[in-house]
Amino acid sequence: MLKKTVSFADKYGMLPDSGTVLAAVSGGADSMCLLHVLVSLGKERGFQVQAAHFNHMLRGREADRDERFVLEQCEKIGVPCHVGREDVLKYAKGSGMGTEEAGRKLRYDFFYRVSGETGASRIATAHNGDDNCETVIMNLLRGTGINGLCGIPPVRGMIIRPLLAVSRAEIETYLSDNGIPHVEDSTNESDDYTRNRIRHSVIPALKEINPGLTDSVEDMIKLLSADRDCLDDAAEGVLSEGVTVKKLRELPEAVASRVVRKLAPAGMSRVQTESVLRLVKSGEASGSVDLTACRAVVEYDRLYFTDCDDPGGFEPFGIYDGFDRVIPELGLRFRCREQWCDRKFNKSFNSFMFKTEGLCGTITVRPRKEGDRLTVAGRNVTKTLKKLMIEERIPPSRRSLVPVFQDDGGVIAALGLGQDPRTVAGTGDRALFVTAEEV
């Protein structure tokens, strides 16, 4: 068992050559095995071991017994032990979490806090091969993809799981051969939990069919993990080159789904991922899908995620001679001064020469309104601003941020789109020169 553990740990680079490894110790068989294995390896490799025990306060005196047991055993072998305790049931009710989820969160929060205080570079947990079998079966029953069938990851950040390649039976034999004591958690005997029912009924039945179940599942995980890593690498390659809607449509779904999930700011379920891919493949120029924590938006050849609704525009403001102001919502600085027109017609529409004699009243700058129309000088066409924005491929999410210029006679210009001919100044005309510069 020890050889197996060392080989597995070295394969994934779990054990450091120095520093501290924090062992999560509950007092049960698996964690007591982990503690003694790490102490033994630490002497060979040069790292120190410290222990962390978290009391969930769910089993009354039994939980207190476990805490005392771990403290006593750590003292016997000279391992510093850190103890944390919290009322998990109370926290679960207050947070709306399930008891198991709340316990896991508080437990790992404690482990990370102790690792910071001790300077530990690794946090070792005692998950074993049977745990991995149970996890794979649970994921299979829920309906899972390749990630779920890959089971418990050997390494995740600071978390390492050196016993993942050995079975519970091998652990029990190691404890017996080496005279290592442990305590039993009475809740492990209850079939109220799905995992316990799988452990007590499903796993034994499967081992009757295949006594080498743990090794078979480990082999399957190796194969599937290689496939998963290949697909993940392909998705990363797409991301590094830049993601477009056109490219996503051409990708195999196994790669496209991974690209979408990597782009998303939060985790996505299979159903949510499929809804985003349907949006991508719909062929529509624009559209969106609301997800739990964000919104997926397609605009022309771009897919992006946002955690809020489309921008709501900006407050209208008046323009006059001497005006000079930054509009934060637009990221633009507007300036206006009256002068004689001494230049040709502006075709880029990032600045305007409004002929004073052509204006009706004062100029207001505002967001687009439904039904706004503009006659574009030089093109002799009148179109809605929405149509002009579509032609210029302005994304829907940005359309309410396009400054529209209006006087008492109607719309006279829109930034980047055009200017009404009645206000276009010619050489020698007195005009209001308006510029909009990025800030």
Q: Which residues of the chain fall below pLDDT 70?
A: 188-193, 307-312, 343-348
Can you give the pLDDT at residue 238?
92
pLDDT for 290: 81
- Closest-CA residue to 57 (of 29, 91, 34, 28): 91
Q: Which residues of 246-259 are buried (b: 16+ CB within 10 A; e: fewer)?
A: ebbeebeeebbbbb
Residue 345, pLDDT score? 52
Looking at residue 251, what is its pLDDT? 93
One-letter amino acid identity for 357? E
21, 35 contact by CB (below 8 A): no
pLDDT digits over 357-411, tens only? 989 999 999 999 989 999 988 787 899 999 998 888 888 878 888 999 999 999 9
- What sign has the CA pseudo-torsion 205, 207, 208, 209? positive
For residue 338, CA distances in Å to 39, 335, 427 come to: 82, 10, 14
CA torsion, ordered 214, 216, 218, 220, to nearest 10 deg? -150
* pTM tops 0.75: no
β-bridge pairing 373-376 and 363-366: unpaired
**Res 225: pLDDT:** 93
Instruction: Domains for the chain: give ranges and CATH numbers.
Output: 2-220 (3.40.50.620), 242-306 (3.30.465.60), 317-438 (no CATH)
Pairing type for strands 122-124 and 20-24 reads parallel
Nearest to 432 by CA among 384, 380, 362, 344: 362
Pairing mode of beta strands 286-290, 122-124: unpaired
